[in-house]
Amino acid sequence: MKKNLLVLAGLLFFAIQASAQIGPGKILLGGSLGFSSKDTENDNDWINSRNGTETTFELMPRIGFGLSENWVIGAGIGYQSTKFDRDGSDYEEKTNMFVFSPYARYYKMVSEKVGFFGEGTFAFGTGKYKPEPTGNKKDLSSFAVGVTPGITYFITEKIAFEATMGFLGYSQIKAEVDGTDDPESEKSEFGLNVDLTTLNFGVQFVL
């Protein structure tokens, strides 16, 4: 059984422009605050065999710059914290990651308020993995490149709600035991993921 709860909210700002149209020189401010929880049943996990509950918290402020009426480029800097509690024991795992994610987004508006977009991203992450009460701490590094589709809806001239779901691309994560010369563990994937856990909601503010 899997439970998933996502709560996303944008950053506050003071608008200084009058037009809501995406275009050259426009600035887009946004951000996400996310929380998810799911039950895991995995006996072949790359870090540790486990069955239990995994909880994730995410924070990702973003800024974008309009190049044209359709194209926006930008970047986000985020933090992700994941905690796993094993069923029937006091064993837990904590993972903390900092992520830098440049992106390029193409908008296709179908009306004054509604539009679709495709977003290409390069994401780089670094962090720590810590099992308790026993186990080896690990240094983590991650990389992902791919595309995500989405839809946007302008509720006012300057505020748009948006939703994204799915990811097509390549991702890789490496783990090395902290303070040792032990070989790295590595996991990589390529393909299409349309799981409901990829569903995200956000807010964009156009200045």
Q: Could you state, in order of their start, the residue ranges of all structural domains in the chain? A: 27-206
Residue carrying structure tokens 């990389």: 143
For residue 27, what pLDDT is reported? Answer: 95
Q: Which of 198, 80, 79, 196 is nearest to 147 (CA)?
A: 198
Beta-carbon contacts of residue 158 (< 8 Å; ≥ 6 apart): 15, 17, 20, 205, 206, 207
Token digits of residue 179: 């303070």
Sign of the Cα pseudo-torsion (169, 69, 31, 2, in order): negative
| Number of other residues whose CB lies within 10 A of the CB of residue 43 | 7
Work out the burial of residue 148: count CB atoms within 10 Å of its CB; fewer than 13 is exposed, 13-18 middle, 19 or more buried: buried
pLDDT block averages, 10 residues each, the chain of length 207:
39 33 90 76 55 83 95 95 83 92 95 94 94 84 95 93 91 83 79 79 90
Token digits of residue 203: 């807010």
For residue 12, what pLDDT is reported? Answer: 29
142 and 125 Cβ atoms separated by less than 8 Å: yes
Peptide bond into 183 cis (omega under 30): no
Q: Which of 69, 77, 78 is nearest to 20 (CA)?
A: 69
For residue 88, what pLDDT is reported? Answer: 74
Would you identify the CATH topology of the domain 27-206? Answer: Porin (2.40.160)
